[in-house]
Copies of this chain bind each other. A is one copy, B any other.
């Protein structure tokens, strides 16, 4: 029947169990967003699609609290947005300071080295924040053109205060890249008010959109740095000089946008608009507080002090006598609930529970607490 070398495999249809996603991302996606993704496609240069792109940018500016014209979604997951920030800002030989207190800080440092940055790292134990003084001391020792720091560390559950650090970075003439993957749309983030130069995020955390498209914003300082580059950006796909023209006034073809993902982001941002950022931040705080008090009532300890605790991601310490792998397996198998284990320094020491976007609901907290009691 066929002379093909590789014959047709027998593969069952797609079936997906109904998971309650309470891990570090993806979060549950609002059914309205799932429906938007099923919308038939437009061409990526269709005037109607261009209008959708424009409106998406307007909504993203609200979410980021910025007026930056270059506020766009990158055509990839959060790591691609991180790489877009690093690849465009870091030129070979540039001095870069990366503040590392978790997995994603490490990743930024790795990327900055790959793009030729002269990288210095300052460290904090995972679960702690950097003080402005530490950053100032590091920059006094060696000024840096670029400082990178994580606002919301998905690996530790820490929310890093930024305003004072941004001032210090600017005072010594550098620019700052902020990772807001786990804060955008769920935790207060004010790009313009705080003076952040480059800020990126993901879609699958507090925006509750599927992964595959990732917001990023560059202010005029960042654009000037980009325009003053002496070398081309090595990364073609994420080169802002091309991507920016596709999303900007020129509409020059660069690469095909992930159209259905843009629809999804559009709808997810509509939901953010309807709820309003401040109400959304409050909801994340309220439901996180419910989780925290529930865990503490069970005698569990939370790894991050209240002052720096992220509402979107909680890291309870694994209690003595609890097999955390088994706990997670049983939650998944018996109750279809996904939470996650620790990474790196915190592997085996903490669990990671996300209450992000559509997942941040009191009924999910109640169910999780009840299920943990059943299986631990």
Cβ of A42 under 8 Å from chain B: yes
- 5 smallest CB-CB distances across A and B, nearest first, come from A212-B258, A79-B255, A210-B260, A34-B38, A38-B38
Contacting residues, chain B, for A267 (C-beta < 8 A): 14
Q: Please give the distance in Å from A231's CB to the nearest CB on chain B.
A: 9
Query: Which stretch (A162-170, A272-280, A319-327, A366-374) binds chain B?
Result: A272-280
Cβ of A232 under 8 Å from chain B: yes
Question: Is there an interface contact between A52 and B14, defined as CB atoms closer than 8 Å?
Answer: yes
A-B contact pairs, 13 of them (CB 8 A): A6-B62, A9-B58, A11-B55, A11-B58, A14-B266, A16-B52, A46-B332, A79-B237, A79-B256, A110-B236, A115-B234, A211-B260, A260-B264
Cβ of A35 under 8 Å from chain B: yes
**Docked complex Cα distance between A19 and B47 (Å):** 12
Contact with B along A204-232 (1 / 0, CB 8 A): 10000011110000000000000000001
Q: Contacts A17-B42, A237-B238 given; 20 further ones with Cβ under 8 A?
A: A5-B65, A5-B190, A6-B192, A23-B43, A26-B41, A28-B41, A34-B39, A34-B40, A75-B80, A76-B76, A77-B256, A78-B256, A79-B236, A114-B232, A115-B234, A202-B256, A211-B257, A212-B261, A258-B261, A260-B261
Contacting residues, chain B, for A23 (C-beta < 8 A): 43
**Docked complex Cα distance between A104 and B266 (Å):** 30
Question: Is there an interface contact between A40 and B28, defined as CB atoms closer than 8 Å?
Answer: yes
Cβ of A4 under 8 Å from chain B: yes
User: Which residue of chain B lies nearest to A338 when distances are taken between CB atoms in the complex?
Assistant: B43
Contacting residues, chain B, for A77 (C-beta < 8 A): 75, 255-258
Copies of the chain in the assembly: 2
Cβ of A317 under 8 Å from chain B: no
Cβ of A21 under 8 Å from chain B: yes
Cβ of A363 under 8 Å from chain B: no
Question: Is there an interface contact between B65 and A41, defined as CB atoms closer than 8 Å?
Answer: no
Q: Please give the distance in Å from A265's CB to the nearest CB on chain B.
A: 10
Question: Is there an interface contact between A41 and B21, defined as CB atoms closer than 8 Å?
Answer: yes
Q: Please give the distance in Å from A239's CB to the nearest CB on chain B.
A: 8
Contacting residues, chain B, for A83 (C-beta < 8 A): 235-237
Cβ of A18 under 8 Å from chain B: yes
The residue that A259 contacts in the complex, of B4, B9, B26, B234, with Cβ under 8 A, is: B26
Contacting residues, chain B, for A343 (C-beta < 8 A): 253
Question: Is there an interface contact between B16 and A59, defined as CB atoms closer than 8 Å?
Answer: no
Cβ of A2 under 8 Å from chain B: yes
Contacting residues, chain B, for A232 (C-beta < 8 A): 114
Contacting residues, chain B, for A110 (C-beta < 8 A): 236
Cβ of A13 under 8 Å from chain B: yes
**Docked complex Cα distance between A363 and B77 (Å):** 38
Cβ of A183 under 8 Å from chain B: no
**Docked complex Cα distance between A36 and B210 (Å):** 13
Cβ of A291 under 8 Å from chain B: no
Question: Is there an interface contact between B4 and A278, defined as CB atoms closer than 8 Å?
Answer: yes
